Chains A and B, each alone.
Chain A
Amino acid sequence: MREEHVKRLLVLAGSLLLLIFALGPFGWMLIVSFADRPDFLATREFSFSLQNYVDVLTSPSLHFTDYVWNSLSVSFGASFLVNLFALPAAYAISRLRFPGRILIPIVILAVSMFPQISIVGYLFDLFSRLNLVNSKIGLIFPYIAWTIPLALWINLSYMQQIPNDLDKAGLIDGASRWKILSKIIIPTALPGVFSAFLLTFIACFNEFLFALMLSIDYTAQTLPVGIALFEGLHGEIPWGNLMAASALASVPLIVLTLIFQKYIVGGLMGGAVKG
């Protein structure tokens, strides 16, 4: 029975390590966000304060609510559209026989692993001429392209699990492929669609380089850009405010992830194409 003891000890040590690993920096962010000053480790005086949250939410010069709104609308728009495009494509690839059925999704996967830097310079140039720099639309398009492999492969993996008989029954009843997709397959594959939507939304919400280069001010800058460029009036870093903004930006995502854990994990497994 010695092995049982060893194992129990390992599990205990591993669990502790995992807890410290996963919660450490996150916990520190929360602690500093509730402190009246960020250097309390040096001064050895900690007092609880909500001032940082009040500052972030009410100070108009920080534009926090603008960033939130930009992030939400861009991420929502892009993840809605990318799934709108990915669903028929996934349907065709999983159901229809056509030349390129194997090749097209592979090529899409290959080209979509591009480093963002390899297209953002060109896009900046192009969008400057089209007056799309510093606009939400100008961010939505690259986000759609960037999340296509994720949306396509997640939807594909869920659709492949739906038996073809449903389609055949529909065809016999004289329904068109479009009708079968929208009336039968999408409702059946809804968990997959939801998971693809969640993951593309989170990916867009977290994206940084496109947003940094294709936006100029708070009218289009997203939350990550806002937080990255966050500075005090005199150039110093206002850590307390920054941690409060960070907490406000990430806690909803964490809650979303924990509530829909099943869909997130399922989608990541089905897609396995984006970290």
Chain B
Amino acid sequence: MNPEGWREGYDEGEWKIALVFILPLALTVFVFICLPVMGTFWNSLFRDVSYLPKMWVGFQNYGKVFKDPNFFPALFFTLAFSIVAVTLETFFGLLFALLLNESFPGRTFLRAIILIPWAIPTIVSAKVWKLVYEYSYGVMNVLVRGLGLSGEKINWLGTSGGAFWALIFADVWKTTPFVVLLVLAGLQAIPEDLYKQAMIDGAGLWRRFYKITLPLVLPVLLVSMIFRTIDSLRMFDLVYVLTGGGPGGSTQTLSFLGYRYFVNDRFGLGSTVSVITFGISFAVTLLYLKFGKFRERLK
């Protein structure tokens, strides 16, 4: 075995330059991501509370977290939120992308308008939604009653069901534009000839959609869904502003639970929840890498 075999077939001058060019980036990733992730794992093995000396406890924190009555509801809420939010985002994303792929007057205008929710900072949008959901003078209740959807005012943020949907709507509003952009790019890549041929063959609007559009745009939908899932699994901002995890702890995400441990000076347990959150995200990230065809893009 040639110990220097790993660089066989490479021009020495060239890979040395490459090393220098990549070093600052790689170093930043190592120091500010890899090290902290490992450090968080390390911290999760300690009892670390402000009022007692720091002590090695092995994996005891994991047992403690699993026994915390907040953990499984938070895990369940995070998963339920991600599934429902990503489904709706994909539905509306596809719907609006199909619309913006048609040619009609005003298309350019609408393609710009759809970016507005994307451009607004999440915290700002969360505050706006909070006002919209306001019980006594929020516009949501005026609309819901005006449209006859409900006779009574809905306590959006004060009931666990209302809070769930309040968070979902706010998230769908903010993130659908991103899905629209991805799907639109996918739609534009479908050759026009396919539709022309199908029309000659007498295929109607619906048939053309599910025989041509849907199968061809499916890979893009899949990648966007995986990406959106990674993002919603770590959701924090909306919960922080809209519900504060409430009512009664019913809308805590894993990120929010970890944050609460940290601010309550329970670093060991906070780190433990963070490690679990990282593990779940990382598993989905591997799917993203598999279906995102990033390797092919590097050829």
Contacts A21-B173, A98-B14 hold; do A6 and B33 have CB atoms under 8 A apart? no
Q: Is A54 among interface residues, defined by CB-CB distance under 8 A? A: no
Docked pose: A256 CA to B121 CA in angstroms: 13
Interface string of A81-113 (1 = CB under 8 A from B): 000111011011100111101101110111111
Docked pose: A233 CA to B10 CA in angstroms: 66
State whether B7 touches A99 (Cβ < 8 A). yes
State whether B137 touches A38 (Cβ < 8 A). yes
Q: Is A235 among interface residues, defined by CB-CB distance under 8 A? A: no
A143-158: which have CB < 8 Å to B?
A: 144-145, 148, 152, 156-157
State whether B286 touches A110 (Cβ < 8 A). yes
Contacts A7-B205, A114-B37, A117-B236 hold; do A224 and B116 have CB atoms under 8 A apart? no
Docked pose: A245 CA to B205 CA in angstroms: 46
State whether B21 touches A208 (Cβ < 8 A). no
State whether A121 touches B258 (Cβ < 8 A). yes
A26-62: which have CB < 8 Å to B?
A: 26, 28-29, 32, 38-42
Q: How far is the CB of A82 from chain B (nearest CB, A)?
A: 8
Pick the residue among B111, B137, B204, B230 that contacts A42 (CB under 8 A).
B137
Interface size in chain B (residues, C-beta < 8 A): 109
Docked pose: A112 CA to B288 CA in angstroms: 12
Docked pose: A105 CA to B288 CA in angstroms: 14
In the complex, chain A residues whose CB is within 8 Å of the CB of B125: 25
State whether A206 touches B278 (Cβ < 8 A). no
State whether B131 touches A275 (Cβ < 8 A). no
Q: Is B155 among interface residues, defined by CB-CB distance under 8 A? A: no
In the complex, chain A residues whose CB is within 8 Å of the CB of B255: 115-117, 209
State whether A28 touches B139 (Cβ < 8 A). yes
In the complex, chain A residues whose CB is within 8 Å of the CB of B241: 228
Docked pose: A14 CA to B91 CA in angstroms: 13
Interface string of B118-157 (1 = CB under 8 A from A): 1111111111110110101111001000000000000000
Stretch at the interface among B58-66, B159-167, B190-198, B266-274: B266-274
Docked pose: A160 CA to B36 CA in angstroms: 32
Interface centre among B36, B104, B128, B240 (most CB of A within 10 A): B128
B222-274: which have CB < 8 Å to A?
A: 223, 227-228, 230-231, 233-234, 236-237, 240-241, 254-255, 258-259, 262-263, 267, 270-271, 273-274
Q: How far is the CB of A110 from chain B (nearest CB, A)?
A: 6
State whether A206 touches B121 (Cβ < 8 A). yes
Docked pose: A144 CA to B118 CA in angstroms: 21
Interface string of A1-33 (1 = CB under 8 A from B): 001001100110011001101110110110010
Chain A residue at minimal CB-CB distance from B237: A208
Majority DSSP secondary structure for residues of A touching B: helix
State whether A123 touches B289 (Cβ < 8 A). no
Q: How far is the CB of A36 from chain B (nearest CB, A)?
A: 14
Q: Is B221 among interface residues, defined by CB-CB distance under 8 A? A: no
Contacts A18-B114, A104-B26 hold; do A227 and B294 have CB atoms under 8 A apart? no
A134-193: which have CB < 8 Å to B?
A: 141-142, 144-145, 148, 152, 156-157, 160, 177, 181
Chain B residue at minimal CB-CB distance from A43: B137
Q: How far is the CB of A125 from chain B (nearest CB, A)?
A: 7
In the complex, chain B residues whose CB is within 8 Å of the CB of A110: 282, 285-286, 289
State whether A152 touches B25 (Cβ < 8 A). yes
Q: How far is the CB of B295 from chain A (nearest CB, A)?
A: 6
Q: Is B49 among interface residues, defined by CB-CB distance under 8 A? A: no
Q: Is B55 among interface residues, defined by CB-CB distance under 8 A? A: no
Docked pose: A39 CA to B270 CA in angstroms: 39
In the complex, chain B residues whose CB is within 8 Å of the CB of A126: 36, 39
Contacts A6-B205, A122-B39 hold; do A148 and B282 have CB atoms under 8 A apart? no
State whether B18 touches A92 (Cβ < 8 A). yes
In the complex, chain B residues whose CB is within 8 Å of the CB of A18: 96, 99, 110, 113-114
Docked pose: A275 CA to B33 CA in angstroms: 19
Q: Is B212 among interface residues, defined by CB-CB distance under 8 A? A: no
State whether B28 touches A148 (Cβ < 8 A). yes
Q: Is A219 among interface residues, defined by CB-CB distance under 8 A? A: no
State whether B25 touches A250 (Cβ < 8 A). no
Pick the residue among A26, A85, A254 that contacts B28 (CB under 8 A).
A85
Q: Is A258 among interface residues, defined by CB-CB distance under 8 A? A: yes
Q: How far is the CB of A90 from chain B (nearest CB, A)?
A: 9
12 contacts between A and B (CB under 8 A): A22-B177, A39-B136, A85-B28, A99-B15, A114-B33, A119-B33, A123-B36, A141-B32, A148-B29, A177-B17, A269-B181, A275-B227
Binding site for A on B (CB under 8 A): 6-7, 10-11, 14-15, 17-22, 24-26, 28-29, 31-37, 39-40, 43, 92, 95-96, 98-99, 102, 104, 106, 110-129, 131-132, 134, 136-139, 142, 173, 175-178, 181-182, 185, 204-205, 223, 227-228, 230-231, 233-234, 236-237, 240-241, 254-255, 258-259, 262-263, 267, 270-271, 273-275, 277-278, 281-282, 285-286, 288-289, 292, 294-295, 297-298
6 more CB-based (< 8 A) A-B contacts, given A141-B28, A177-B21, A227-B127: A25-B132, A88-B20, A102-B295, A114-B37, A254-B116, A269-B181
Closest 10 A-B residue pairs measured CB to CB? Answer: A115-B234, A145-B32, A98-B15, A119-B36, A88-B21, A118-B278, A224-B123, A98-B18, A92-B21, A14-B99
